[in-house]
Amino acid sequence: MCHLYLHKYELETTIVPELPKFALIKQYIIDNIRAARWLENERVPSENELADQFNVSRMTARRALSELTEAGILTRSQGLGTFVASFKSQSSLLEIRNIADEVNARNGKYSCTVLTLELIAAVAPIAIALGVEADAPVYRSVIVHNENEQPLQVEERFVNPQLAPEYLDQNFELTTPHEYLSQVAPLTEARHTVEAVMPSREVCQWLGLYNEEPCLQMIRRTWSAKGIVSFARLISPGSKYRLGGHLTFKQRS
């Protein structure tokens, strides 16, 4: 089975000559972040600078920056450049709801299909996102959430075993990962990144998409009082899912 995240990064723990140039650029950036040579919110080299440094095309440099941005390691600002993402917790403006509760609130019938539950070694981007050492053991799950027996969302989640040691022992057909983690490591803060993406062939298969259509992708990291609990990617068909929320602002006195 192809990992949504790991198939992109499984070769990055060691730089070898056989690696393609975009992967070498990614590893170079990750190494500088891990060594604290580039700090949070610090600007990283531009596409042109990386292209000159590694003697590659701008497209190759752009791919490296884009994939690290997708993984939440970097953040890009139009007209300003690319920066090291903040790895500190950030309060969420979106209410985080259990997807089973969302479906039930619409009078739908919730179910799920568990595709993967496993222990893996954290490659660099996952290790950074969870705040653990590279190659440290982490839990990984891939679950398809259904509404009225129709696929609604693919969830790939990486979990810190120190904060949820019995994660792999759970029956996620009876409780969702969000619900379980909220019990054993109560959520205090979260960070979201939301964007439109075109799904891979494998994701299309899981979501039952016979024609490619844009999907809504949410990258989410969650914190408890003891640290980063999980790092997840949630992908939903654009025609079936939307985000919404309600904000209340204090009146000025």
CATH number of the domain residue 172 falls in = 3.40.1410.10
pLDDT (tens digit per residue) in 13-60 = 444 446 788 989 998 998 888 788 888 778 899 999 999 999 999 999
| CATH, residue 71 | 1.10.10.10
Whether 140 shows a pLDDT value over 90: the answer reads: yes
Shared-domain flag, residues 110 and 202: yes
Shared-domain flag, residues 107 and 213: yes
Residues spanned by the domain of 16: 11-84
Whether 246 shows a pLDDT value over 50: the answer reads: no
> Higher model confidence: residue 241 or residue 175?
175
Shared-domain flag, residues 183 and 145: yes
Shared-domain flag, residues 104 and 162: yes
Segment 56-72 shows an average pLDDT of 88
What percent of the chain stands above pLDDT 70? 83
142 domain residue, yes or no? yes
pLDDT at position 13: 41
Shared-domain flag, residues 80 and 115: no
pLDDT at position 112: 95
Shared-domain flag, residues 170 and 225: yes
pLDDT (tens digit per residue) in 163-217 = 999 999 999 999 999 999 999 999 888 888 888 888 888 999 899 887 778 888 8
201 domain residue, yes or no? yes
3-state SS class at 183: helix
Whether 155 shows a pLDDT value over 60: the answer reads: yes
Shared-domain flag, residues 123 and 184: yes
188 domain residue, yes or no? yes
> Higher model confidence: residue 6 or residue 160?
160
245 domain residue, yes or no? no
Work out the number of other CB atoms within 10 angstroms of the CB of residue 186: 11
Confidence of residue 238 (pLDDT cuts 50, 70, 90): confident
Q: How many residues does the chain have?
A: 253
**DSSP sequence for 44-88:** PPPHHHHHHHHT--HHHHHHHHHHHHHTTSEEEETTTEEEEPP-S
pTM for the model stands at: 0.64
- The answer to which of 33-37, 76-80, 93-97, 118-122 has the lowest mean pLDDT is 93-97
Shared-domain flag, residues 114 and 229: yes
pLDDT at position 6: 45
Domain edge (last residue) among 58, 84, 110: 84
Total tally of structural domains belonging to the chain: 2
pLDDT (tens digit per residue) in 92-109 = 345 567 888 888 877 788
222 domain residue, yes or no? yes
Shared-domain flag, residues 73 and 163: no
From CA 93, how far away is CA 36, in angstroms rounded? 29
pLDDT at position 95: 59
Shared-domain flag, residues 106 and 222: yes
From CA 122, how far away is CA 8, in angstroms rounded? 13
Shared-domain flag, residues 227 and 127: yes
Whether 8 shows a pLDDT value over 50: the answer reads: no
**Cα–Cα separations (whole angstroms), residue 209 to 197, 202, 212:** 14, 10, 6
Shared-domain flag, residues 40 and 126: no
